[in-house]
């Protein structure tokens, strides 16, 4: 190897190097010329060289030794960050922000605000995109699967006579005729089930299957039935089921991705918080469905107050609101009265 005759016109950086695929440590300096670099050992011999533009300089990471990789695979390490930046250009964009500085207080605040905004708006936007992307057959398959597992766990075949079923079906059909076009894209199906312990109740599955319990069909008036079925149609039309699935999965995924940076305790807090805050969306969905149901019932010629009377007849105790999937009945009644006022 030739000796360097002159280092004139070039500056150098002290450090150490490893030849390609070897752990042999060499004490070297990196001489930087106009468009060429040389690795030179203490005896002034050139170990290796390359064009300046082929050298890969890793970005600065705190005080950790800077890693510079030559095209042949030789690794050069140095603590002399300033000279690296001066000779080889600045590769420290993030490093500048990361330095311990009062500015980091602003970063902490931005994290808190950002996390809130992401949860409130970012996740909502993602959920909408995901709902829009979900193919209809998948949603129908969900309905069948959910109905099958309900039948296994908590419901039995309906014991209603054909006459009662036909009456409810008639209400259902009339409501469906009055659905706005954007709500009518779903495949609405009515199903009857005997569900002891569930009381007068109805359920909507994401694909449009609406389950009415025998108790509801037997005890509720036609106006109340129209309100309740309209409420469930509101859930379907608003994609509430799918939105809740995506929101909980999305929240879980986002928090898991941050978990490496938050640590297990903060992760648990965030996961619990996500769960409790998600309930507020569930309650909001219930109120939306109530309003939707009352309006639909009115358009189909039923008394929109039917749902309100139905709630009055239930006479259920109030519960802790922020831990519930449903709003308290007082809130729901207040919400419905507001619509009636519009009339």
Q: Write out the residues near another protein by the rule CB under 8 A.
A: 16, 18, 21-27, 61-65, 67, 75, 94, 97-101, 104, 107-108, 110-111, 114-115, 118, 122, 126, 130, 134, 138, 141-142, 144-146, 148-149, 245, 249, 253-254, 256-258, 260-263, 265-266, 320, 323
Q: What does the DSSP assignment read for 86-150?
A: HHH----HHHHHHSSSTHHHHHHHHHHHHHHHIIIIIHHHHHHHHHHHS-HHHHHHHHHHHHHHH
In whole angstroms, the minimum distance from the beta carbon of 21 to another protein comes to: 4
Structure-derived torsion over alpha carbons of residues 174, 179, 184, 187, reported in degrees to the nearest 10: -30
In whole angstroms, the minimum distance from the beta carbon of 187 to another protein comes to: 16
Question: Distances from the Cα of 185 to the Cαs of 125, 134, 170, 207, 299, in angstroms?
Answer: 22, 14, 20, 10, 18
In whole angstroms, the minimum distance from the beta carbon of 78 to another protein comes to: 12
In whole angstroms, the minimum distance from the beta carbon of 181 to another protein comes to: 26
In whole angstroms, the minimum distance from the beta carbon of 159 to another protein comes to: 25
Instruction: Using CB atoms within 10 Å of the CB of residue 85, give its burial: 0 to 12 exposed, 13 to 18 middle, 19+ buried.
Output: middle
Q: State which residue, 66 or 295, has the beta carbon closest to another protein.
A: 66
Chain center to CA of 184: 27
Q: State which residue, 262 or 288, has the beta carbon closest to another protein.
A: 262
In whole angstroms, the minimum distance from the beta carbon of 186 to another protein comes to: 17
Q: State which residue, 27 or 170, has the beta carbon closest to another protein.
A: 27
Q: State which residue, 144 or 170, has the beta carbon closest to another protein.
A: 144
Q: State which residue, 109 or 184, has the beta carbon closest to another protein.
A: 109
Buried b (16+ CB within 10 A) or exposed e, 94-128: eeeeeeeeeeeeeeeeeeeeebeeebeeebeebbe
Q: State which residue, 101 or 337, has the beta carbon closest to another protein.
A: 101
């Amino acid at each position: 190897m030739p000796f360097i005759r002159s280092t004139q016109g070039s500056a150098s950086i002290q450090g150490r190097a490893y030849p390609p695929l070897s752990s042999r440590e060499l004490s070297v300096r990196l001489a930087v010329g106009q468009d060429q670099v040389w690795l030179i050992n203490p005896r002034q011999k050139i170990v290796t060289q390359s064009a300046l533009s082929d050298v890969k300089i890793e970005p600065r990471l705190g005080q950790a030794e800077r890693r510079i990789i030559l095209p042949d695979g030789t690794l050069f390490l140095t603590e002399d960050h300033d000279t690296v930046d001066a000779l080889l250009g600045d590769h420290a964009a993030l490093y500048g922000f990361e330095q311990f500085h009062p500015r980091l207080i602003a970063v902490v605040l931005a994290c808190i605000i950002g996390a809130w905004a992401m949860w409130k708006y970012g996740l909502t936007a993602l959920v909408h995109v995901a709902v829009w992307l979900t193919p209809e057959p998948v949603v129908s398959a969900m309905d069948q699967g959910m109905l099958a597992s309900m039948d296994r766990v908590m419901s039995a075949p309906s014991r209603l006579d054909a006459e009662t079923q036909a009456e409810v079906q008639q209400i259902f059909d009339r409501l469906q005729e009055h659905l706005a076009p954007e709500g009518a894209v779903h495949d609405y199906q009515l199903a009857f089930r005997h569900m002891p312990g569930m009381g007068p109740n109805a359920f909507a599955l994401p694909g449009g299957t609406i389950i009415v319990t025998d108790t509801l069909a037997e005890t509720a008036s036609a106006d109340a039935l129209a309100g309740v079925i309209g409420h469930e149609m509101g859930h379907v039309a608003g994609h509430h089921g799918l939105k809740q699935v995506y929101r909980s999965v999305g929240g879980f995924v986002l928090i898991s991705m941050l978990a490496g940076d938050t640590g297990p305790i903060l992760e648990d807090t965030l996961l619990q918080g996500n769960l409790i805050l998600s309930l507020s969306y569930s309650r909001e969905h219930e109120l939306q469905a109530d309003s939707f149901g009352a309006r639909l019932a009115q358009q189909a010629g039923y008394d929109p107050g039917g749902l309100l009377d139905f709630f009055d007849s239930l006479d259920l105790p109030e519960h802790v609101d922020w831990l519930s999937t449903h709003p308290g009945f007082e809130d729901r009644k207040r919400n419905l009265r507001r619509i009636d006022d519009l009339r």
